[in-house]
Every structure is written in structure tokens, then in C-alpha cells.
A and B are shown apart, each in its own frame.
Chain A
Amino acid sequence: AMACRKVCQMVQRRLASSAAAERLSAAELRSWRSALFSKEQNRQRSLYPRIEKIEVAMQGPGLQGTRLVMNKGVSTPHSCAKHLTEWHVSSAALALVDGELWHLHRPLTRSCILRLLTFKDVDPQLVNQAFWRSCASLLGQVLDDAFKEEYSVELLNVLEVPVSAGAFCCDLVLDPRLDSWSPSEENLRSLTRDAQQLIHKDLPWEPLEVAPPVALEIFSHSRCKQEEVEEIAAHSPNGVVSLYRCGQHVMLSGGPLVARTGLCCQYEVTALHAVGEGQWGLQRRAQGLSLPVNLTVMRNSVLSNSRCHNLCFVLFSLKEFCFMQYVDQDCLLDQNCVSVSMC
């Protein structure tokens, strides 16, 4: 009996210690993931020890016939834009390389035809979608950072919401102790303030294409993220998983994001409500609204929250064109409608 008790004590102690080692604090986890990301980034950069030149043909208004000689594996569409003018650098949000969507900070690997996409193009569909996706991942980053250390936050897959739906959203699962908590206006205001501070820092989103094992290692503390990685790897054409890093936060994304956080303006977190029981716990959906920096609504207007239970429409009127989006009570995304006040 004494030996049995001793064995049980040792087993318990070992179990407890291994559990504690796995449970890193949120800040340590973030820096650990960021360190792994940097390591992988350096490794990929070191794959090109000698500088080889590639020729990039620019396409766009006023750029016919421009050919730039850039470095393979080092130059990005952002550096191509820097060779042109400052306006190109500040307005470029996404790039099209040989017809394929390319993040602005992703290195070019072969001679190609490059087109820089801005928000004021004739057909901004792709850019708008990428902008919506980046706003959603920014929202995820803000939520990840906003809760106290003792509550666990799990960000789920970012939903692909079309721009015409009226809001971008981010799904997350909170600590089970917070199941009956719902955010107050003040909580939403503080989330908005955090997001606006991130936007003001103007951090770039750094892309990285990694093999699934590396991604699995980066997200080794979160079972939910690992499943997402496996799913993305199964669906992608060449089995590569694309990761993005903003500041210290590493995230997965279903598509390309815009160049930097400073391109978002008038960012507001509008609602956070429960959707239902999911695989990992009570699933919550956070919604937000934002506009690109050079397409803000006229002059002094401000995105403000208003409690409106009926049909409420959000009017965006831009210099070139006007589109109306309405968000109503039946829409599964929305509970707090957002109205634009012109003053």
C-alpha cells in the first residue's frame, strides 16, 4: 500500500509538471511563435545566397513599358513601387503577379508582369475582399490581446464574408468561465481603441509560405489551429500553408491580405455575440466595420454605434460611386447596426 501511494504521488507530480510546462502565458506564447516565424523567414531568405536578377514588367496607368530589374527572392512588389513614386507606395494595397494575387511584401521569385492594385481602381473587387479579410484578422489580433492573462482565447477560422454583407467578422471561443458574459458598450469601445492604436502604428503584414510541418510546430500549443492548418494544407494546390505576421501576432489566412494596418481607417468594433455551441466550446462572433484610408466618408463623418432594431442602412458615398448596404435584423451577422453620421 505504501509503495502504491508513492507511485501515485510521483505520477501525479509528473503529470502536473508537464501540464504546467505546456501552459505558457499568452505573451510568452506570442513571442515564441513570432521567434519561430522569424527563424523560418531567415531560413527562406538564406535559400538565395547569391543575388540573381529578375526582370519585372510593370503594368498600370502611366507605366506602359516600364521594366524594372529586381533581385530574385529578395525584392517585393513594395520595393518595385518604391522605385516608382511615393504615391504608388502609399496607395498600393495588393499586387497581381502574372494574374495571380500576390501580397505586397512577398518576395518575387521569377521574371514576371506586375500590376499594383489600389482602392480606386475601376474594378476594386479583389482589393475590397482582401481589405475585408485583413480587417477581420486585425480584429482577431485585437481580441487575442484584449483579455486578461487567466482567460484563454481561441481564434477560429476567419470567415470569408463578402463586402456587401455590411460587416466583417471573426469567430472565437473564450474560456468556459466566461460563458455567461456578454460585452458592454464600454468593452466594445476599449476594443475599438486597441484596434485604432494598432492601425496608428502602421505595422506591415509579413507573409510567409511554409510547409505544413513547420506550421504545425508553430501552432503546437493549440489543437484547434493545428486542425485548421491541416485543412488549409489539404485544400491548397501545392500543399503550402500561408502565414501572416503583424507585430508579434502570427495568424493563418485564407487569402492575401493588404499591405499594412495603416490602410484601414475609421475602424470600429461593433458587436460581439454568441452564435452557438461549436466543436471547441461556446462560439462567439465579433463584428466590425472599417473603411480604407483614402476612401473615408466625406469630411467630418464618423462611424458611430446606434441601437436600431429595425432596418437600418449604412450609406457609403464615395467620390466616384455610391453603394448602399443594408443590414437588418434577420441577417445572421448583425445585432448592433452601425450608422454613419455626417457632421
Chain B
Amino acid sequence: KCSTVHIMSPFVQCVRTIKTSTWWDEHLSEDNVSFMRKTVMEEYKQLTTDKLNPLKDEPWPRHEWEENSRRVGLVAVKLGMMPVWTKTGEKHVVTMLQVQDCHVIKYLSKDENDGRSAALIVGAKNVSPFYRSEESMDIFRNAGLPPKQKLTTFNVTNNAIIKPGTPLYAAHFRPGQVVDVTAKTIGKGFQGVMKRWGFSGQPASHGQTKTHRRPGALGPGGDPAKVFKGKKMPGKMGNIYNTAFGLKVWRVNTKYNVLYVNGSVPGHRNCLVKVRDTILPRLLKKNNDPPFPTFFAEGGEELPEDLYAEDMFQPGDSMTF
């Protein structure tokens, strides 16, 4: 007659039927029971987390927003301008910036960047790979993305780093936040001192001989006996990077990825601009609790097509006088 043993025992014997009914911790001591409970819980948690990322390259951890954390910005295309009204009837002008194919291309750690903070390189607007050299194609190939027209670097804090290859959308900014926009200004070519520096020139008549738009005196006189460095003089104007600070976001369209940003922005139509959260200290509190590190489209939250700022007049609203 074969002795019947419980299946949990370590001996492999012929088990005909389970005649003894017992529970799993009957023969274990108290310490062993608590140990088993703990290890089984940890193992299950491990399995479930592994199940979420079975591929070799795992998604990077996403942290929560804190004070003094800086997150990525976007690169957008300047479309044009249009008027916008507040609920009290004041008219403002906004610039429309569309985010086209914006992806994070590369992550630079603090040491690689400049020793102060980590950086993320972001690119926008796909271009043809056939007119790019092999070396420039390298970073795009590592990220698995088509080559981009513009690449910019954003200095970020360590809790805001994003995996290269993630797309960035306009919903990264919400209405009510304040942004800075950097772009290359329209090039005016070689310009005189009145247009370039705003000098007033000389009168048009009353005896002026051949002097109407000239700079006039160049400095003090005999004591320095020189012209100081940095004297404002005619030269090439425009086509340099300039930043517009403290622009409020009035509206965000999630379907076409368009940001409606207050005021004007440097650059011509269809130029690529760099948009980031403000660094002006007075307006920092407007940017509390943004989508951090960025807005992920597969996060599951469905945003309405248009997000409006609170004091903006929406078409279809009624106004009472």
C-alpha cells in the first residue's frame, strides 16, 4: 500500500488520492508563516510589474511635479495671429503655434551636458533623410525617428527626464500657463542706425547738409579720445535668436495640436519656435502642477478638443450688459 502524502511535500511519490486534508501553514512555524506571506506578496508584485514591461527596454519612470522642477518644452511652427476677447470685452491678440511631429531625440545626463543639470534634445518637423549627412543621421537612428528640421536643447531637472522617442503634444501646456517663446527674428539685412537702434536722426530741413539719418556724435570727446566698445552703429539687423517672455496661453487645441499664445512672437510665419515654461519669478506660480513630465497620449485621459482659459470669451457664450 502506497502511503499518500500531501502534494506540498518535497518528496515525489505516487499520489493516488489526497487523504489528509491540511492547510498550507499547518506544519510551519510562526516565523516561517510570516516570511512566506511576505515573499509571496513580493513575488506577485514583481510578476505584475514585469508583466507591464516584458520588453528589454523598459519605459522610464515618471515622477510627480515638485517646486523648482523644470520640465521639457516644445518646438512649434508659427502659423499666424488672430484676435481673442475676454469675458469682460477686452480684445487681445494671440499667435497660433502648431506642434508638428515633436519628439524627444536624446537625453544628456548632467555630466554630458554642462555639469549643472540634465538636458533633453527635442526635435520638430520631419524632413527628408536624403539631404542629410550620415553623421547627423546617427542620433535620429538611435532614437528610431525620422530626421527633424530643428533640434533644441532644454535644461531639465532629473525628475523630468523622458525616454528618447516619446512624442510631445500641445496638451503639454494648459490654458492659463505662462510661456517664453524663442525664435530667430526676421532678418532685415544691413540697416542704418535709426531702424536698428531707434536713433532719432536729424531734421529734414532747416539747413541740414546731407545729414538726416546719421548717428551724429560718437561719444564724449578728448578725455577718452576713443569710441567705446559696443557703440550702437549700423550693421546687420535681425536673424538672431530672441525671446519673448511671459506670454499667457489662452487656448489649446488638442486635435490639431495648436497653442494660442498671447501677443506676438519673434520670427516669420511657418518658422520653428522654441516654447518653454517661464523663468520670470513673478509668474512662476501660474505654472503650478502642470502635466509632468509631459502629456502622454496613451495615458487614457481623453481631453476635449479645445481647452480655453477661464477669462476667455468662448464662441457661443452669452454676454450680459
A contact set with B: CB distance below 8 Å? 1, 4-5, 8-9, 11-12, 145-148, 150-151, 174-175, 177-178, 180-181, 183-187, 189-194, 196-197, 200, 299-300, 302, 304, 343
Contact = CB atoms under 8 A, between A and B. Distances in A.
A148 B55 CA distance: 5
Interface in B145-185: 146, 163, 165-166
Interface in B238-282: none
Contact of A185 (B13, B125, B297): B297
B54 A178 contact: yes
22 contacts: A5-B11, A8-B13, A12-B12, A146-B55, A147-B54, A147-B55, A177-B47, A177-B50, A181-B54, A185-B297, A189-B144, A190-B55, A190-B144, A190-B165, A196-B141, A200-B141, A299-B128, A300-B128, A302-B146, A343-B101, A343-B125, A343-B126
Given A145-B56, A175-B54, 15 more contacts: A1-B3, A9-B11, A146-B55, A148-B50, A174-B54, A177-B47, A177-B50, A178-B51, A186-B298, A190-B55, A190-B57, A193-B144, A299-B128, A300-B128, A302-B126
A192 B50 contact: no
A134 B142 CA distance: 23
* Binding site secondary structure of chain B: loop
Nearest to A196: B144
Contacts of B165: 186, 189-190, 193
Nearest to A4: B13
A302 B47 CA distance: 37
Given A186-B166, A189-B144, A343-B100, A11 B12 contact: yes
B104 to A, nearest CB: 11
- 8 closest A-B pairs by beta carbon, nearest first, are A193-B144, A300-B128, A302-B146, A185-B298, A12-B12, A8-B12, A302-B126, A190-B57
B40 interface: no
B89 interface: no
A177 B55 contact: no
Contacts of B47: 177
B59 interface: yes
Interface in B46-81: 47, 50-52, 54-57, 59
Nearest to A149: B56
A312 B156 CA distance: 39
A192 B51 CA distance: 20
A302 to B, nearest CB: 5
A190 B125 CA distance: 20
B303 interface: no
A338 to B, nearest CB: 15
A148 B141 CA distance: 23
Interface residues of B, number: 28
B35 to A, nearest CB: 24
B13 to A, nearest CB: 6
Nearest to B144: A193
A164 B165 CA distance: 30
Q: Which of A11, A190, A197 neighbours the largest number of chain B CB atoms within 10 Å of its CB? A: A190
Interface string B116-155: 0000000001111000000000000101101000000000
Nearest to B166: A186
Nearest to A194: B144
A11 B59 CA distance: 44
A90 B317 CA distance: 64
A299 B128 CA distance: 6
A217 B229 CA distance: 82
Interface in B286-321: 297-298
Contacts of B125: 343
Contacts of A185: 297-298
Given A5-B11, A299-B128, A343-B126, A192 B144 contact: yes
A147 B55 CA distance: 4
A183 B59 CA distance: 12
The residue among B12, B52, B59, B298 with the most chain A CB atoms within 10 A of its own CB is: B12
A49 to B, nearest CB: 43
A281 to B, nearest CB: 15
Contact of B56 (A148, A186, A192, A196): A148
A51 B101 CA distance: 57
A128 to B, nearest CB: 23
A186 B104 CA distance: 13
A177 B51 contact: yes
Contacts of A178: 51, 54
Contacts of A183: 55
A68 to B, nearest CB: 33
B146 A180 contact: no
A200 B142 CA distance: 11
Nearest to A299: B128
A153 to B, nearest CB: 10
B163 A8 contact: no
Which one of B51, B59, B166 has the highest number of Cβ atoms from chain A below 10 Å of its Cβ? B51
A78 to B, nearest CB: 24
A147 B50 CA distance: 11
Contacts of B55: 146-148, 183, 187, 190-191
A5 B12 CA distance: 8
B69 to A, nearest CB: 22
Contacts of A146: 55-56
Contacts of A191: 55
A212 B18 CA distance: 47
A181 B141 CA distance: 28
A193 B143 CA distance: 7
